[in-house]
Chains A and B, each alone.
Chain A
Amino acid sequence: MNHRPSTRSKPQPDSTALPQSAPPRWHRPSPLVCIGLVIGAAFFLHGLWISELTPLRILRGFSRLWNFLDQAIPPNPRRLGSVIQATLETFEMALVGTVFGAILSLPVAILAAKNTTPHPMIFAASRSFVTLLRVIPDLVWGLIFIIVVGLGPAAGIMALTADTMGFCGKFFAERIEEIEPGPVEALRAIGASQISIIFGAIFPAALPSFVASTLFALESSVRSAVVLGLVGAGGIGVELSTSMQLLRYDEAFMVIIVIFVVVLLVEQISSLIRRRIIGNAHG
């Protein structure tokens, strides 16, 4: 029954039975929420317990950190040339992996978007494929591809391609689903083939968003590429792990500084471009 808001002082006949009152301050949480909270708390406490993260350990850790910094400063630029070369390799790994991943994401996204998929079964299959690529962490992909193609940047590139497809496949497909149906219908009514519609109406509408997502993936790939090097998939990570294992902290610190500069640079440039693109798309 509708309650019409009324300014009259006389109470409405049907509102006398139920006096209006403010909503209760406190709702009893549902049993499901209670169980969830208890389980979450249990994991949290157990996690604290097994890590033995005591204040004493943290305090002692600080003194070791001091030890590390003492040896690391000043950073040693002796191998700066090869460090920069390896950093470049890391960046290039990220770039190639991201570009491959983004390009391969295009057909996958077409199959994985509700409005362009040729068949519900293909939709389900390609969505699952993208999810699979995404839920397996990049480091695990790296280890798998090292088995496939051996140590080196090739494995890193393949891992980053898989990682980027997991990300871009999902975002591209979601963007395609958001496209307004009007222009697509107009081309369909003209008699255009599905592939012409994809190139004529769908890609033009989605392109700015595709580029923005790809740049975002590139930023994440550059960070991943550093870590992938630690397991032997090429690039600066290899240098870092060598210096660390040989306890040459001053060289390691130099590597960390170079990584910091490169990652920051990539992020800044990428977000600048993204802002441009999104600005243009709306202006």
Chain B
Amino acid sequence: MLSLAVDQLSKTYPNGTVALNRVSFRAHPGEGIVLLGANGSGKSTLLRCMVGLEKPSSGSIRVGDAWIETANANQLRLLRRQIGIVFQRFNLVSSLSTFHNVLQGALGRSKGPRYWFPATAPQRERERVMQCLERVNLAHLAQQRVDTLSGGQQQRVAIARMLMQDPSLLLVDEPVASLDPKSGREAMDLLWDIVRERQLTVICTLHQLDLAKDYADRIIGLRHGAIQIDAPAHQLTDHELSWLYESSTLDTIETPT
């Protein structure tokens, strides 16, 4: 459980695209927030700023009692250990085994070459990897190369890697975008079970309004990089939510890069 405060956060990319415009919100420990918004509304940029993969143009992000945007390289590493992120495209190392990919979740907390290879990792960590894989029902595929798995399975490997990392704050970027409806539900169930049993604070971007309403405690709606909706999930109507997507394709014509 980790608190998070985003204050007046703006991000303008070097090519002039304004991705975030004075975004402010506070996530309470243990809260489940779903981030909605049309393509290009800045959801991924917001998540990337929170782990320091993108540098904000202005504003601040506080995680626990540290500030991301002013942290030096070492402090940033310490902060990142506590923040898990599951990417839309999984971002696994495709030429390595499932086991090896999950083991890499420990790279943040453990220095030293022992953790680089499954063969040299301490027995305790090897057992933890198997526990994480069992949690996502993939223990039987531990030795398989990860690029031979299906999309849904790769998503679960990414979740197992996150379990191995053992974060207090979890960021999830479109976890179901490349999954079929049934696998999508399963992935969301798995994620939310983990979130609840570990009492994680979670921010999850989604494109499915029904999923958003089923899982979120609170929904934040982004439009053109600014927060337009921020309310408990049960108070929001479909009409209010669909407004986020209206005519946004007309005025956010993507500039070719």
Contacts and interface: CB of A to CB of B under 8 A. Distances in A.
B139 to A, nearest CB: 21
Nearest to B105: A190
B140 to A, nearest CB: 22
Nearest to B88: A182
A204 B115 contact: no
Contact of B92 (A186, A189, A281): A186
A2 interface: no
Contacts of B224: none
B108 A183 contact: no
**Chain B interface mostly:** mixed
B202 to A, nearest CB: 15
Contact of B116 (A188, A190, A200, A205): A200
Contacts of B90: 182
B77 A193 contact: yes
Given A183-B94, A200-B93, A191 B78 contact: yes
A189 B53 contact: yes
Given A200-B116, A207-B95, A188 B81 contact: no
A196 interface: yes
Contacts of B79: 191
Contacts of B94: 183, 205
Interface in B53-101: 53, 77-81, 83-85, 87, 89-96
Contact of A186 (B91, B95, B116): B91
Contact of B85 (A186, A193, A197, A208): A186
Interface string A169-191: 00000000000001101111111
A188 B116 CA distance: 14
Contact of B91 (A185, A192, A199): A185
Given A190-B81, A200-B93, A281-B95, A185 B108 contact: no
A186 B165 contact: no
B198 interface: no
A208 B147 CA distance: 15
- Among B77, B91, B109, the most chain A Cβ lie within 10 Å of the Cβ of B91
A193 B95 contact: no
Nearest to B89: A182
Interface of A: 182-183, 185-193, 196-197, 199-201, 204-205, 207-208, 281
